[in-house]
Chains A and B, each alone.
Chain A
Amino acid sequence: EVQLVESGGGLVQPGGSLRLSCTASGFSFTCCWMTWVRQAPGKGLEWVAHISQDGRSTYYVDSVKGRFTISRDNAKNSLFLQMDSLRAEDTSVYYCVKYLSRALDYWGQGTLVTVSS
């Protein structure tokens, strides 16, 4: 059974940093690109970033470029999202998502990030 478990969310002040982690199991982690998707409270979905199997290729939505960094540790079946210079508009539930054939086939339960003073 594929499982994706996020951690690291919480309350942070504007301008602060947070590092999200996702631990994967139930599939060969190195098979797949991995993705972060976020959802502001009561709102729709926004694709944030994704990373290739070997970690060498990364892509970001413009609103987080230069502030967020996606990375992975294949030895530990883990995906990360380093979030710096956080803004109020980054407040969202962040989902770790497995990516296959340009679809998002398995989603974690999400971790809530709240940016507020």
Chain B
Amino acid sequence: DTVVTQTPLSLSVTPGQPASISCKSSQSLLDSDGRTYLSWYLQKPGQSPHLLIYEVSSRFSGVPDRFLGSGSGTDFTLQISRVEAEDVGVYFCMQATYLPFTFGQGTRLEIK
């Protein structure tokens, strides 16, 4: 199975400051169709996860533009340009290039 490793596992950020989460896969996520299937999710406390970013860098409908996904191959990053209080929760990346689809362990973001 493709192993997806997120770092850090937790971070504490002052409102208005940036945050960055890394996601590394054990093999390249570039599919034979030329697309890279790496997505990001946020699970707010007590809620179901919701989609933030798909195919590395495409923001899902309604996602604020302070969320930015980037990367290629095996290395990917989710950046939040200016963290807000509502951004607290656990962030997961997921690869969907290979079956079974696999998630990172999650990164817990808290506000200082």
Contacts and interface: CB of A to CB of B under 8 A. Distances in A.
Given A44-B92, A104-B94, 16 more contacts: A44-B106, A45-B41, A45-B94, A45-B103, A46-B103, A95-B49, A101-B55, A102-B39, A102-B101, A103-B37, A103-B94, A103-B96, A104-B39, A104-B41, A104-B49, A104-B51
A59 interface: yes
A55 to B, nearest CB: 18
Interface of B: 37, 39, 41, 48-51, 54-55, 60, 92, 94, 96-97, 99-106
Interface secondary structure of A, over-half rule? strand
Nearest to A109: B48
Contacts of B37: 102-103
B105 A44 contact: yes
A45 B92 contact: yes
A36 B65 CA distance: 29
B54 A61 contact: no
Interface residues of A, number: 20
Interface of A: 44-47, 59-62, 95, 100-110
B54 A103 contact: yes
Contacts of B96: 102-103
Listed residue (B39, B48, B105) with the most chain A CB atoms within 10 angstroms of its CB: B48
B49 A45 contact: yes
Contact of A47 (B51, B97, B102): B102
A103 B103 contact: no
B102 A107 contact: no
Contacts of B94: 45, 47, 103-104
A107 B50 contact: yes
A59 to B, nearest CB: 5
A105 B100 contact: no
Contacts of B60: 103, 105
Nearest to A105: B51
